[in-house]
Chains A and B, each alone.
Chain A
Amino acid sequence: QKEVEQDPGPLSVPEGAIVSLNCTYSNSAFQYFMWYRQYSRKGPELLMYTYSSGNKEDGRFTAQVDKSSKYISLFIRDSQPSDSATYLCARKGGSNYKLTFGKGTLLTVNP
């Protein structure tokens, strides 16, 4: 079983829709989770960083961690065409600081 599982999609939604992106992870020792956005042929950029369970909100983005079910989610409200990108979930390892990424979900927001 891979450490971080993510449905690669693709996911296509109309502008203004609420988008839900999800990942599951296998190791309950994981504590730090991140969501990155990657535009085509560009490096990833950090969207959200979460630690422990609960929600974290930043503008139109909400990150959610459910440690009991080992589930992490990213919600995008009022989605815009500029949100069209690949979204990658990641977890940070212990002392070695390495990141493990999910496969990424390709999102298209149609105007």
Chain B
Amino acid sequence: GAVVSQHPSWVICKSGTSVKIECRSLDFQATTMFWYRQFPKQSLMLMATSNEGSKATYEQGVEKDKFLINHASLTLSTLTVTSAHPEDSSFYICSARVQGVYGYTFGSGTRLTVV
């Protein structure tokens, strides 16, 4: 089945540094990738939608300059958290829409801790 590989699974970084999270579709082409953030005991909140070769569309309240999304190929999308702060600590998950499949495939998530 369609698999999305997400790395790293967890990362600790210092405040002020940048962190890149990668999501790769292993056996299909992901034309659309979604990026979510999930705080403890909370639901998934959509941050942005990216289409291959296009600029990402960000949800209201999400800072475009802070959360940089690149979807340069049909198999790779990246989220870079720039100048990270402790309040950015969260669980970040990517999801891909699979052509011909009704559901969406999710990555395994990245737990970011900013200290």
Partners in one complex: yes
The answer to whether A104 and B43 have CB atoms under 8 Å apart is: yes
Partner pick for A44 among B41, B44, B49, CB 8 A cutoff: B44
In angstroms, Cα B42 to Cα A106, docked, is 11
SS class, residues of chain A in contact with chain B:
strand
Which residue of chain A has its CB nearest to the CB of B109? A43
Q: Which of A6, A51, A96, A98 counts the most B-chain CB atoms under 10 A from its CB? A: A98
Name which of B60-68, B77-85, B97-105 contacts chain A: B97-105
Query: Residues of A within 8 Å of B, CB-based: how many?
Result: 24
The answer to whether A42 and B109 have CB atoms under 8 Å apart is: yes
The answer to whether A102 and B97 have CB atoms under 8 Å apart is: no
The answer to whether A98 and B34 have CB atoms under 8 Å apart is: yes
In angstroms, Cα B40 to Cα A103, docked, is 11
- Chain A residues with CB below 8 A from B97, complex form: 97
The answer to whether A101 and B32 have CB atoms under 8 Å apart is: no
In angstroms, Cα B105 to Cα A40, docked, is 17
Interface of chain B residues 31 through 80 with chain A (CB within 8 A): 32, 34, 41-44, 46, 49
In angstroms, Cα B36 to Cα A43, docked, is 10
- Chain A residues with CB below 8 A from B113, complex form: none
Partner pick for B108 among A36, A42, A46, A88, CB 8 A cutoff: A42
Interface of chain A residues 16 through 45 with chain B (CB within 8 A): 32, 34, 36, 41-45
Which residue of chain A has its CB nearest to the CB of B42? A103
Q: Offer 9 A-B interface pairs, CB within 8 angstroms, sorted by A.
A: A41-B111, A42-B108, A43-B93, A44-B106, A49-B102, A96-B49, A99-B95, A100-B46, A101-B43
